[in-house]
């Protein structure tokens, strides 16, 4: 197969886009640097859909890619945590984390995708719970908010209409813990009987056990940062599917977006922040939005702090914006209200 310059795979399918993770996982598993062209034929499509795999193949990324800049040091530290997790009782073959990865979840309700694609024309707000973040120098921490009671923070946000909450559980960078996540999950379930407010576990994920830990703690979705885990992204996406979590892939570069979508990512966080140097490059998210199909849910993030910046994101066609620092200011809830009151009547219809 590898000696063939170009070949075509025809699939007679009965699935509805964007549920293409299995199909794209199949194409990604072919260890070939050749370009792959295939056609999707489905009763849901008016004509066969012609797709071409980009030149950023799985083999190339796996063989040559490594975290760069600030991410390299942070990921090395994270792997030390993972080694401790692998040696824990929860990771034993009969432990709760391993068992979650061995069997498909009985039910998977894609709460986050449904939330993002509902009420089209209205920009959703994702609140980002984190105490610190990293700066532009190695091991530099920048203060975001002094969160003493995460439950109280989440309660204020829920009562003021925040659509989803991202909870940082990484201590090295964000000064967060899984205790924060469990506390917020418990509170939201109490306040929201319909469970319509998705909770996202934000960690520097490099191993499937971390995905299982997010599910065990009650999260609805998990964040996968491409700059930290690109070579393992297909495996991590599959792990999220197995345990029953929505997976968000954070991207800062166009080829990260392409690679993520090749392997079935249906939610992308397009970030202005370059994880390699820690700098914010405003306008990056809007530029990347142009290469993402409309059926893929998109969140914009990285340095977005004002309603004008959020409106620009909305005009670019994003489904949601993630905001951290600004929500902890006295005017934070007014910012949420201003964003949610603006509705664009004309928009490109998606698949939801």
pLDDT tens string 158-171: 999 999 999 999 99
Residue 144 has a pLDDT of 94
Q: Which positions ≥6 away from 109 have C-beta within 8 Å? A: none
Least confident range of 54-58, 118-122, 150-154: 54-58
Cis bond leading into 18, ω under 30°? yes
C-alpha–C-alpha distance, residues 241 and 236, integer Å = 9
Is the pLDDT reported for residue 152 higher than 50?
yes
Is the pLDDT reported for residue 350 higher than 50?
no
**What is the arithmetic mean of pLDDT over 111-115?**
90
Is the pLDDT reported for residue 17 higher than 50?
no
Burial of 148 (0-12, 13-18, 19+ CB in 10 A): exposed
Report residue 23's pLDDT band, with 50, 70 and 90 as the boundaries: very low
**What is the arithmetic mean of pLDDT over 98-115?**
86
Of 147, 157, 156, residue with least CA distance to 179? 147
Q: Which positions ≥6 away from 309 have C-beta within 8 Å? A: 282, 303
Mean of pLDDT over the chain: 83
Confirm if 31 and 58 have CB atoms less than 8 A apart: yes
Report residue 73's pLDDT band, with 50, 70 and 90 as the boundaries: very high
Least confident range of 8-22, 32-46, 64-78, 181-195: 8-22
Tens of pLDDT, residues 34-43: 334 334 443 4
Domain 111-341 in CATH 3.20.20.70? The answer is yes
Residue 346 has a pLDDT of 58
Residue 44 has a pLDDT of 36
Report residue 96's pLDDT band, with 50, 70 and 90 as the boundaries: very high
Is the pLDDT reported for residue 3 higher than 70?
no
Q: Please report, for the chain, the start and end positions of each structural domain, with discontinuous segments joined by +.
A: 8-53, 111-341
Residue 59 has a pLDDT of 35
**What is the arithmetic mean of pLDDT over 71-83?**
94
Least confident range of 14-28, 135-149, 257-271, 319-333: 14-28
* Residue 49 backbone dihedrals phi, psi, to 5 degrees: -95, 120
Is the pLDDT reported for residue 21 higher than 90?
no
Residue 344 has a pLDDT of 86
Least confident range of 84-93, 152-161, 186-195, 255-264: 186-195
């Amino acid at each position: 197969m590898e000696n063939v310059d170009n070949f075509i795979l025809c699939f007679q399918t009965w699935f509805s886009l964007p549920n293409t993770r299995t199909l794209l996982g199949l194409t990604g598993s072919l260890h070939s640097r050749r370009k792959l062209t295939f056609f999707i034929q489905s009763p849901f499509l008016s004509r066969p859909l012609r797709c071409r795999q980009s030149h950023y193949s799985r083999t190339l990324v796996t063989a040559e890619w490594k975290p760069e800049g600030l991410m390299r040091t942070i990921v090395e530290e994270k792997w030390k945590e993972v080694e401790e997790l692998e040696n824990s009782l929860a990771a034993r073959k009969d432990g709760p984390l391993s068992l979650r990865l061995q069997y498909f979840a009985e039910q998977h309700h894609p709460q986050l995708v449904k939330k993002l694609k509902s009420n089209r024309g209205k920009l959703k707000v994702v609140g980002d719970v984190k105490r610190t973040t990293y700066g532009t120098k190695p091991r530099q921490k920048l203060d975001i908010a002094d969160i003493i009671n995460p439950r109280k923070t989440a309660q204020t946000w829920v009562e003021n209409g925040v659509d989803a909450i991202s909870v940082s559980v990484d201590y090295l960078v964000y000064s967060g813990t899984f205790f924060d996540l469990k506390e917020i999950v418990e509170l939201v379930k109490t306040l929201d009987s319909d469970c319509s407010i998705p909770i996202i576990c934000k960690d520097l994920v490099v191993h499937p056990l971390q995905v299982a830990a997010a599910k065990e703690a009650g999260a609805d979705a998990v964040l996968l940062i491409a700059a930290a885990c690109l070579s393992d992204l297909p495996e991590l996406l599959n792990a999220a599917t197995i345990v029953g979590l929505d997976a968000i892939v954070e991207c800062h570069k166009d080829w990260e977006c392409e690679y993520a979508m090749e392997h079935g990512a249906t939610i992308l966080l397009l970030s202005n922040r370059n994880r390699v140097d820690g700098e914010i490059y405003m306008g990056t998210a809007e530029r990347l939005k142009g290469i993402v199909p409309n059926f893929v849910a998109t969140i914009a993030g990285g340095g977005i702090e004002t309603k004008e910046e959020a409106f620009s994101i909305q005009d670019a066609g994003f489904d949601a914006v993630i905001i951290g620092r600004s929500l902890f200011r006295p005017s934070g809830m007014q910012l949420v209200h201003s964003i949610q009151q603006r509705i664009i009547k004309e928009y490109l219809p998606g698949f939801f």
